[in-house]
Amino acid sequence: MKMTDTLFGHTNDEPVMEYTLVNDSGMSVSCLNYSCTITKILVPDRCGNIENVVLGFDQFFDYLDLSPYFGCVVGRAAGRIRNAEFTLDGESCQLTANEEPNHLHGGKKGFHSVIWKSEPIETESAVGLKFFYRSKDGEEGYPGNLDTTIIYLLNNQNELSITYEARTDQKTIVNLTNHSYFNLSGNLKRDCSEHVLQLDGDRFLELDSDLIPTGRLLEAANTPFDFKHGRLLKSGMKSSHPQNVLAGNGYDHHLVFSKKGENTVVLTDKESGRTLLMTTDQPCVVLYTANHLEGLYSISGVRARNYLGVCLETQGLPIDFNQPHFPATLLNPDEVYRSTTTYRFFSKTIGV
């Protein structure tokens, strides 16, 4: 196993480095110190062809100008916060309304738009990187100085783990995730409509017209949101279910796992034979099928279009202090926020 690094660009006169982790099986993961962005994951298909299975740009300026959060860590709080404000201990916290009138994925200067300090990690069984960023008190409106560490580790079982840790000096809110867009066809040969998703979840969160959860937990059984036995993603893209239509003819929803503790998500592309087995300790995953990706730009030589990738954003339930049955992601000074999500890639179909 090894790690290499190259200069990828500059922002505000700071160098943006691309690090590439390679295991003994030939799998590699490339990422930036800018937003901890995962730019490439190269894995074999059933015939041994090694290809990229995430969406990313070849030039750094495209990440600045065009990226819909490709591959980055988002925070302090993933998702949308209604009217860009919340109340904490009786006081209103006004956040940046970067998606008027709401707050999205941490704001304009969220974790997705800053340089992180980085250092290499090498053990007997893995190679990786440790990223660190201090979000200062008041940044984007959030209270407290928040020290966040993100650890990427790649092992010889074709397994990439992402561990999130955060500490604060004031009570605050934290809800972190990685926003990679997966496409298991390899090098964007096809869209994700024929991908099959399987997970054990019996409920999903209803969205309003701003794509913010209303607080209602809806039953998934007998709807396009039931993935217990595996479901083609195109079934939601072509669905007349009001929630699929509202999201732009697809998915942009919190799928809530049926049980607490570690849960598993399986994504499969039968044509390539690739399978992603994802495990997480988070209570839900936001499934987004890139319903609004279409644009006048290219992604590694492929014209941007809807459904070209699928996001599996593991995270806590959405931060909404108006919904008392949602356990808000509060972090106190004497606590540590910690979560881990692991992505394991196979060159054969499993679990479906």
Cβ neighbours around 141 below 10 Å, total:
18
Nearest Cα to Cα of residue 224 among 211, 241, 203, 242: 241
- Which amino acid is present at 301? G
- Report the helix count and the strand count for the chain, using DSSP H and E: 3, 30
| Closest alpha carbon to 75 in 5, 195, 172, 6 | 172
Sort strands 196-199 and 330-331 into parallel, antiparallel or unpaired: unpaired
Identify the H or E element spanning 64.
helix 60-65
Which residue type, as a one-letter code, is found at position 266?
A: V
CB contact at 8 A, 154 and 126: yes
Distance CA 42, CA 273 (A): 14
Give me the catalytic one of 105, 179, 195, 254: 179
Q: Which of 18, 51, 139, 313 is catalytic?
A: 313
DSSP string, 77-138: B-SEEGGGEEEETTEEEEPP-SBTTBEETT-TTSGGGSBPEEEEEE-SSEEEEEEEEEE-TT
Element (H or E) spanning 235, and its range? helix 234-237
3-state SS class at 163: strand
User: Does 206 qualify as catalytic in the annotation?
Assistant: no
The answer to whether 307 and 249 have CB atoms below 8 angstroms apart is no
262 is catalytic: no
Neighbours of 153 (CB within 10 A): 21
Interior CA angle at 156 toward 152 and 160, to 5°? 25
| Active centre residues (catalytic) | 179, 313
